[in-house]
Amino acid sequence: MSLRRFFLCAVIFTALIGALPLAARAQDGLPGEVTSPTALRTAPSLAGRPLANLQTGDKVTVTGRFRAWFRLTFNGQTGYALADRIRVQGDANRLPDIPPAEALPPTAAPTATPAAVTTATSWFGETVLYSLFVRSFRDSNGDGIGDLRGVIDGLDYLQGLGVNGLWLLPIFASPSYHGYDVTDYQQINPQYGTKDDLLTLIAELKRRGMYLLLDLPVNHTSNQHPFFKDAFGKPTSLFSQFYVWSNAAQTDYLSFNGFRPMPELNFDSRAVRDYVTRMALYWLDPNGDGDPSDGIDGYRLDVAKDVPADYWAELRTAMNKVNPRAVLLGEVWAEGRIIADFLRGDGMNAAFDFPAFNVLAGPNSAPGEGLLNGVGEANVLGLTMRALDAMVAPGSVLARFSHNHDTNRLMSIVRGDVARAKMAAVWLLTAPGVPTVYYGEEIGMAGVKANGPVYYDEYRREPFDWYAAESGPGMTYWFRPGNRNNGPNDGISVEEQQADPDSVLNTYRALLRLRAEHPALRSRQVQIVRDSGPLYVVQRWADDALYIVAINFTRDVQPFWAAVYAAAGGQQYDSARAEVLLSAGYQPESLLPAGYVIVRLPR
């Protein structure tokens, strides 16, 4: 061997040997420093209980990583902190990955629900929620943009449909069309109207026995929010603590999904928590007289899983002093055990059932995917729903949905198959929990996200079609590109479906009428049958009758006998006197593909 080759081999060998201690040290932990105040938590989730407050400059030992979190030790306590708040000395890629089973142990059995949570959900549990994008719903002044007065004008239609709760997508001051980047939480978007318009809407809803939830996006604000504008590039600003900065100059910062117009609020700051709480309480009692009768009935919490769960508990406590009946409905877009960690009985009253949606629509809600298209098995849907029902704290409510403003629309998911869209409506409006109808769903509006560069989710939020020609009093027209999903004279409008008894609109009306007329179809005496073969079967009962809902999600004819499901709640019901309340594709002893039947069996 030449001398040159010998020395080259020696250098390589030395480098390899030298690397081993570094790897070993990474297994034992790497030194780190806190770059922004945050919390040390019991689990890698904002639902984890805070163990300690970490301040800028605190020294920690980082021992592992799980997704966006570091496991670390601080002052003898081991927990998890957000990785973007910690500067690691050394190669963080050498840290061991923590197995999910270790990082997220099984959720503990739910504990008893505080009375205030139960008080709020006592009315919410019987609500049918209508998710409404004000900009697209109805225009009262002819400018083509929906507004609050337009919502008031549309209340007769909504009440006739059979819904009794409205969730308005953001209506606060904002520079964007969607409103999820707020500049002032106490001001109404002037395109939508005024505070007086909102108060008039609230009063009219209460007169009709209806409820109102507002969308509350407080994980982040707009970068045009006065607090952010004051703090950007100005470390001495009084509002510096409101946001999470990535450099000392305060010109780089954390933002929602990396979208810079939406800087994230820093909920490790006491000032931020107090500010958000003040904003939320304001609309519960807008005139501040101590009487919440002029206020809203609660909030839908945007990106709720990115805000610490202990803050939602803090807000719940504050709300109880103003209106204990007000609801906190969380968007916790995550797996079941994370949802359960937020629905633990001390904060949110309710959350959306995203696991069930994922089974129904597939992981990407892409056209042709999921159980709605006959892909997968109905028993997986039942198992998923039962599992989440069992994990959340007693008294909590799960809001179910077939799609929403952030997903492709139902009619696009089922690729225009009207029978499968109606089948989905039967699932939604007979399932346990609170059904959430997305505006336009009831007339079969289509919508698929575009790839830009100008428009994206706008195609999922198109103007509501009141008329066949898309022209007439109240019609909005703020978004009308040539390639939109819904056009004139396409059969998708209230006008075109109003008189057709077999239309999607009248199917929704029939289902909601059944729900209103038969209390068992909205009560908590319900079970999703475990051994129903390829069918999805739900039993709902009262003292006088049992209601059986059977749905065939498959692409084949399936057998069905009501007598098989005639026992529930420890009682036997009379299948010989079965009454079919609503059906499609139902034949004696069988259900066609996408068929369904609702049967009533008396005692």
User: Which of 331, 341, 442, 465 is labelled catalytic?
Assistant: 331
CA distances from 125 to 203, 253, 463 (A): 22, 40, 29
Which amino acid appears at position 429 of this protein? L
Half-sphere exposure of 239 (CA within 13 A, CB side): 15
Whether residue 6 contacts residue 53, with contact meaning beta carbons closer than 8 Å, is answered with no
Q: How far apart are CA 217 and CA 265, in angstroms?
A: 11
* Distance, CA of 100 to chain centre: 23
Nearest by Cα to 546 from 575, 517, 511: 575
Structure tokens of 169?
Answer: 């997508």
Phi, psi of 278, rounded to the nearest 5 degrees: -60, -45
543 labelled catalytic: no
Runs of H (alpha helix) within 42-194: 100-103, 115-124, 134-137, 148-153, 155-161
Cα distances (Å, whole numbers) of residue 206 to 292, 294, 367, 602: 12, 9, 39, 35
CA dihedral 395, 396, 401, 407 (to 10 degrees): 180
302 is catalytic: yes
Q: Say which DSSP state 583 is in.
A: E
- The residues pairing with 220 across neighbouring beta strands, listed in sequence order, are 264
Contact in structure between 62 and 121 (CB atoms under 8 Å)? no
Q: Which of 302, 369, 458, 462 is catalytic?
A: 302
**Catalytically active residues, by annotation:** 302, 331
